[in-house]
Amino acid sequence: MIKKEQEDELELSYGQRFPKKEVTIENFKETEQPKKKITRESFIRDPKTRTLRRRGSPTAQRAENIEKNRKRAQAAATKRKQAKNK
């Protein structure tokens, strides 16, 4: 008869981390996950084709850069106008 400590040591030496838990087919059944909602914020309008593009794609990144540059230029123009009017 093997002692409890020796038995645990043998089980761990064979690579079983959790010896008491059995793996069954129930563990691998697919569960229904709620579908991810696609919001308007996950798209950006492509300035060339005027279509919506999913954020993260190269076309969308280009569109975001164009939009960022346009806003930066608008801010600089308003700053110049304000300086001129002073």
Helix or strand (DSSP H, E) at 5: helix 4-13
Position 58 in a domain: yes
**How many domains would you assign to the chain?**
1
Let me know if residue 75 belongs to a domain. Answer: no
Look up the domain containing 45 and give its range.
41-68
Residue 35 in any domain: the answer is no
Collapsing DSSP to helix, strand or coil, 53 comes out as: strand
Structure-token pair, residue 78: 């308003």
Pairing of strands 52-54, 43-45: antiparallel
Does residue 6 lie within any of the structural domains? no
- Could you tell me which of 49, 82, 78 has the C-alpha nearest to residue 63? 49
For 1-18, what is each residue's pLDDT tens digit? 557 776 666 655 555 555
Is 62 within the bounds of a domain?
yes
Predicted TM-score (pTM) of the model is 0.46
The answer to the question of residue 10 being in a domain is no
Residue type, 73: A
The pLDDT tens digits for 15-57 are 555 556 676 777 777 777 777 777 767 888 887 888 888 888 8
